[in-house]
Structure 1
Amino acid sequence: MTHEGTAPSFHTMWRELEPIGRHSASGGYRRYAWSGADADCRAWFRAQAEARGLDYELDRNGNQWAWLGDPCAGDAVVTGSHLDSVPDGGAFDGPLGVVSSFAALDELRGRSARFTRPLAIVNFGDEEGARFGLACVGSRLAAGELTAEQARRLTDADGITLPQAMEAAGHDPDTIGADPERLARIGAFVELHVEQGRALDLSGDRVGIASAIWPHGRWRFDFRGEANHAGTTRLVDRRDPMLSYAETVLAARREAQLAGAVATFGKIAVEPNGVNAVPSLVRGWLDSRAADQSTLDTVVTGIETAAREYADAHGIRLDVVRESFTPVVEFEHTLRDEIVRILGKRDDTAASLKVPVLGTGAGHDAGILSGTIPTAMLFVRNPTGVSHSPAEYAAEDDCVAGVTALADVLEGLACS
């Protein structure tokens, strides 16, 4: 039995989801993996599935699925995104894709579309990596890019391991691991996402198609010096790792600017972290991305070389560890070209297509899955280009345009 007549609209879904995990002081979202806010988001997802008469499923890695049609039939078309956030993140990164997926299904039912392939909507867990320091944990586990052993070693800032957090949230951590049987059922995955940049705003387009994801990674820089009294230790006698770290931050900006890439030290930990103490350890995390692998290698190598020179000059020991890395992702050309054709049909010829194809520096679950199944992405215009911030925004008309574009794509891929 289906209940599409009682399914909430895009606007109703957005209003229901909007307050979950929102911090009253910052106005941003703190929807961290396996937290209370995450549980509320998961309950919301399940309620949306049930309101539409979809078969709800929770997989071995905690990813949520809502199925129309037989999940085991194979060649399924899947859409969706994630509901978790970065610290004090925006409302659109992830949730726009999930809400739009349910709304696109509603639109297809309104068109009386006839489905010839199974359709699923997915919420991938822990995409942002805000709690355990690794992005796309749910999709990485499913694709086998993160082993169960590696996942069990992940810990949050309070020393809680990923299995402990999962168990506390009511999920069995003993089940985590690669899920090739599930991924083998999927013929195509299409993820809609708010654009994290201003390319669409500058071109005047509401919706875009992704061409590729830049290679990107995270590196941890540990600067080890000597703790001492801030008031009694002469400057010349100090082994202050904060100086080397500060110079490295400036070097990162310089190297990225020279190469046309991006590099960011956005997280730092200090020991002993006292106002009146020279630090013994400054640990900084570098995020760097570039349009190609060679450029990224040049940038990171330049930053590390400069960091070691600064560390040596101040008597500091430096350790650099690459914590994660994702190579360049070229979205599957056949699927991408098919989406170009589908969205261009409204203009009769591909030559008059109004939907641009563009690259992105942001990582996504679609990028992780691209090595296993055909994947594609749609972007919705972000007028400010701001993301990972409470200022992240997409206009209502653009969101609706995104829903329509996603519905067109799903109809072209999954319906007769």
Structure 2
Amino acid sequence: MSASFHEMWADLRPIGRDGGTGGYHRYAWTGADADCRAWFRAQATARGMTYETDRNGNQWAHLGDPTAGDAVALGSHLDSVPSGGAFDGPLGVVSSFAAIDELRRKGAEFTRPVRVANFSDEEGARFGLACVGSRLAAGALAPDAARALRDADGTTLAAAMERAGQDPEALGPDPERLARIGAFVELHIEQGRALDLTGDRIGVASAIWPHGRWRFDFRGEANHAGTTRLEDRRDPMLAYAATVLAARRAAASAGALATFGKVAVEPNGVNAVPSLVRGWLDSRAADHTTLEALVTAVEQAASESAAQEGTTVDVVRESFSPEVSFGAGLRDTLVELLNGAVPVLPTGAGHDAGILSGTLPSAMLFVRNPTGTSHSPAENAAEDDCTAGVTALADVLEGLACA
């Protein structure tokens, strides 16, 4: 692997890392995020690239004229989920700079401008909505709605951005900037085991499953855990638990995915029957019809369980991303540039490339994940596979942007 990759990885690795678990806490507009952003700017400056932050907080490093059109853009994100892995996002950013270094070392002549991007708040770990930076740029998220997003402490996105030195009033679509990009390629660790099972180091994305987040609010009656008879209780936790099990059964039946991975309880006392249990459902499927039927089944199960326990439930869809089929033109070009020796596969994980695909030609490269584990400190990629990823990205960049 190139020395530049090792150096960048070593510099970035400690930022936002929990020394006990090894997981990362790089949430948008926090101190760890600021350190990651400073790292990105330093990498751009060290390479003589023009650096800027756009109106939505996305960072850009420009090789060539920043105002020129038909640019080839690379990149991903640097933020993380709670206790996330080292590779999800950062591998794509580090590999982008490393691919440029590789081509410069071999004396390649760039005939198209090149960009490297770090998209802000991709994971949505703090404010609950994924891909905020790319959604805003593409006009898929209204600025007022973005500014009003709140974290668990009640801090708005607008307030957090102001504290970080970014102007939230500037948020909004960025069509002129995106129009100057002729192709966007995002390299990412595969968040699954498809490549490991086939023995391939690198893959090309064909599509992203439709997916969304739904909030289930189960409301009952707070009471004393030691004095309230079981038959007198209106316990929303029971309805919530039944819904979690029902979601698992429905997903298995549909060949889809349903996960309740976040829950909030009020009053959250060991010796108190809850008055409110709020759970968030993440659901994904290969097509919209299957996903819609799955969520409907979970909502029905929630309503029935709530009624049985003398409680109520309200369901709010907080976000939704439709199915993305990456354009065959750029996708097939990537396969051709990699000599046709790579599998083409779909993914259930959302990415900035999926958001941007509706606005500009976008494609993705995947690097093998030996265990399939992601969004966890155990997430990993072998050094040889990371090397193959940098080489593949350099080959793609050379084919798209060099003479």
Relative to the length of structure 1, the TM-score reads 0.96
Which amino acid is the alignment partner of residue 267 of structure 1? K
How far off is 1:152 after superposition?
1.2
Of 231, 237, 243 in structure 2, the residue corresponding to residue 236 of structure 1 is: 231
1:206 equivalent to 2:201? Answer: yes
1:358 and 2:353 aligned: no
The answer on whether the counterparts of 1:311 and 1:318 sit within 8 Å (CA) in structure 2 is: yes
- Identify which of 358, 365, 371 aligns with 1:371: 358
1:186-234 C-alpha deviation (Å, 9 max, x unpaired): 1100000000000000000000000000000000000000001101100
Q: Hey, what does 2:378 align to over in structure 1?
A: 391
Partner of 1:349: none
* CA–CA separation in structure 2 for the residues paired with 1:99 and 1:8: 12
Which of 247, 264, 284 is 2:242 aligned to?
Answer: 247
Is residue 96 from structure 1 mapped to residue 84 from structure 2 by the alignment? no
Which residue of structure 2 lines up, in the alignment, with residue 74 of structure 1?
69
User: Residue 392 of structure 2 aligns with which residue?
Assistant: 405
1:3 is aligned to none
CA contact (8 A) 1:212 1:330 kept: yes
1:127 is the counterpart of 2:122: yes
Tell me if the contact between 1:191 and 1:366 (Cα under 8 Å) persists in the aligned partners: yes
Spell out, residue by residue over 1:3-27, the C-alpha distance to the aligned partner (whole angstroms, 9 max, x if none): xxxx961011101100000012221
**After superposition, where does 1:7-156 map in structure 2 within 5 Å?**
9-156=4-151
- Give, in whole Å, the separation in 2 of the partners of 1:83 and 1:152: 21
Matched, 1:160 2:147: no
CA–CA separation in structure 2 for the residues paired with 1:107 and 1:301: 50
Look up the match of 1:350: none
Q: Letter of the 1:204 partner, please give it.
A: G
Runs of 4+ with deviation above 2 angstroms: none
Q: Note the C-alpha offset of 1:297.
A: 1.0
Partner SS, residue 338 of structure 2 = helix
Q: Which amino acid aligns with 1:277?
A: A
Q: Write the distance in 1 (CA, Å) between the matches of 2:167 and 2:210.
A: 33
Whole-angstrom CA distance in 1 between matches of 2:68 and 2:266: 55
Determine whether 1:288 maps to 2:283. Answer: yes
Q: Which residue of 1 aligns with 2:190?
A: 195
Rounded Cα–Cα distance in structure 1 between residues aligned with 2:330 and 2:192: 24
Contact 2:24 2:85 in 1 (8 A): yes
Instruction: Name the aligned partner's letter for residue 236 of structure 1.
Output: E
CA distance in 2, matches of 1:147, 1:112: 44
Report the alpha carbon displacement of residue 184 of structure 1 after superposing the two structures with TM: 0.7
Q: Secondary structure at the match of 1:9?
A: helix
5+ long unaligned stretches in structure 1: 1-6, 345-352
- For 1:144 and 1:66, how far apart are their aligned partners in 2? 22
Matching residue of 1:348 = none
Contact 1:217 1:289 in 2 (8 A): yes
Q: Could you tell me whether the CA contact under 8 Å between 1:206 and 1:401 is conserved in 2?
A: yes
Worse-matched range after superposition: 79-88 or 23-32: 23-32
Tell me, in whole angstroms, the C-alpha distance in 2 between the residues paired with 1:313 and 1:294. 29
CA contact (8 A) 2:335 2:341 kept: no
Letter in 2 for 1:145: A
Which secondary structure does the structure 1 equivalent of 2:18 belong to? Answer: coil
Matched, 1:324 2:311: no
Structure 1: how far apart are the matches of 2:182 and 2:230? 63
AA partner of residue 47 (structure 1): A
CA distance, structure 2, for counterparts of residue 27 and residue 240 of structure 1 = 37
Measure how far apart 1:34 and its partner are.
0.4
Residue type at the aligned position of 1:376:
A
Q: 1:140 deviation in Å?
A: 0.5
Q: Secondary structure at the match of 1:385?
A: coil
Matched residue type, 1:186: I
* Equivalent position amino acid for 1:394 in 2: A
Identity %: 76
Do structure 1's residue 300 and structure 2's residue 288 form an aligned pair? no
**Please, which of 380, 385, 394 is the counterpart of residue 367 of structure 2?**
380
- Residue 363 of structure 1 aligns to a residue whose secondary structure is coil
The 3-state SS of whatever aligns with 1:133 is coil
Looking at structure 2, the residues matched to 188 and 229 of structure 1 have their Cα atoms a distance apart, in angstroms, of: 60
